[in-house]
Copies of this chain bind each other. A is one copy, B any other.
Amino acid sequence: MLQTTVEMEKAAMILKLLGDKTRLTMVKILDKHDCCVCEFVEIFKVSQPSISQHLRKLRDVGLVEEERKGQWIFYSINKDNEYYPFVQQILDQLPSQDQKLKELEEKGTRIICC
């Protein structure tokens, strides 16, 4: 197992960022699949601005990246981020959230773009 070390202050900042059920689930999903904003809105049943604000916090520390594809903006995990190894260790202990995307597919609201 690769062992990294994260400075205490930064570690606390990352844990605080992940210490929100919505953001934690977002990151867990993004670790396996790219997603666009409207899919998260569908999954979490909160307003679109609320989702955008959560994504912004994740983007501000560089943990996720955005990429426009037509009218959608897709978010993905930035595996090059300095905190990613730390975050990954945490995510590995969480249950898969694939079911949430599967439900979107069944409802026909999963965006498969380009």
Which residue numbers of A lie inside 8 Å of B, CB to CB?
Answer: 1, 3-9, 11-21, 24-25, 28, 85-86, 89-90, 92-95, 97
**Dominant SS among interface residues on chain A:** helix
Q: Is the CB of A25 within 8 A of B8?
A: yes
Q: Is the CB of B16 within 8 A of A28?
A: no
Question: How close is A10's CB to chain B, nearest CB, in angstroms?
Answer: 10
Closest to A1 in B: B1
Q: Is the CB of B89 within 8 A of A4?
A: no
Question: How close is A52's CB to chain B, nearest CB, in angstroms?
Answer: 20
For A9, what are the chain B residues with a Cβ–Cβ distance below 8 Å? Answer: 21
Known: A5-B93, A8-B95, A94-B5. A19 touches B21 (CB 8 A): no
Question: How close is A1's CB to chain B, nearest CB, in angstroms?
Answer: 6
